[in-house]
Structures are given as C-alpha cells and as structure tokens.
C-alpha cells in the first residue's frame, strides 16, 4: 500500500508509506520513480542535505526501504519544457 499525504496543498512535504512494491528497494531508486521529471542530481542533493527522511531519520542513498516505512519527501520543483 502506498499513500501520499500533502501537508501544504499539493506543493509541500509529502509523507509516503512504503508498500510491498517498494519493499527492499534503495531509497534513491524509489525517489527517481516517485519524482518523475526531477533531475538525478537534485534527488541526490536532497538526500545529501538530509531533507529526505525515513521514519524521522536522515536517509542515505543506499538505504533500503522496508514495508511500512514512512518516507518524507520535501517539496521539489519539476522542470517542464
């Protein structure tokens, strides 16, 4: 089950509960999928600066997600052509 909660009208922080489809997946790869259109460099920057959190703790790119984890995704701007 994957749920997304917007705390700021669609533009703010998203909290995503990890479901079975992402169980065992690296957080950097999961973010690439969840944040379509966001450059890879920005995904790694938000990870490096500690803006992405798993169960309230800072996540490193190689961290594996587990079923039921709460993933905090900061607001990011998607580049459109």
Structural domains of the chain, ranges and CATH numbers in brackets: 3-73 (3.10.290.10)
Condensed to tens digits (0 to 9), the pLDDT of residues 7-53 reads 444 569 999 999 999 999 999 999 999 999 899 999 999 999 999 99
The pLDDT, as a whole number, for residue 80 is: 65
Cross-strand partners of 73: 14
Question: What 3-state class would DSSP assign to 73?
Answer: strand
The rounded distance, in Å, linking the Cα atoms of 67 and 38 is 25
The pLDDT, as a whole number, for residue 6 is: 38
Q: Which residues contact 25 (CB under 8 A, 6 or more apart)?
A: 64, 65
Cβ–Cβ < 8 Å for 36, 79: no
76 has a pLDDT exceeding 60: yes
Cβ–Cβ < 8 Å for 3, 63: no
Q: The pTM is what?
A: 0.80
The pLDDT, as a whole number, for residue 79 is: 66
């Amino acid at each position: 089950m994957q749920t997304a909660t917007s705390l700021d009208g669609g533009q703010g922080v998203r909290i995503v509960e990890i479901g079975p489809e992402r169980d065992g997946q690296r957080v950097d790869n999961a973010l690439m999928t969840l944040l379509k259109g966001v450059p890879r460099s920005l995904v790694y920057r938000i990870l490096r600066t500690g803006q992405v959190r798993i169960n309230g703790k800072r996540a490193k790119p190689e961290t594996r997600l587990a079923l039921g984890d709460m993933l905090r995704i900061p607001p990011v701007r998607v580049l459109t052509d």
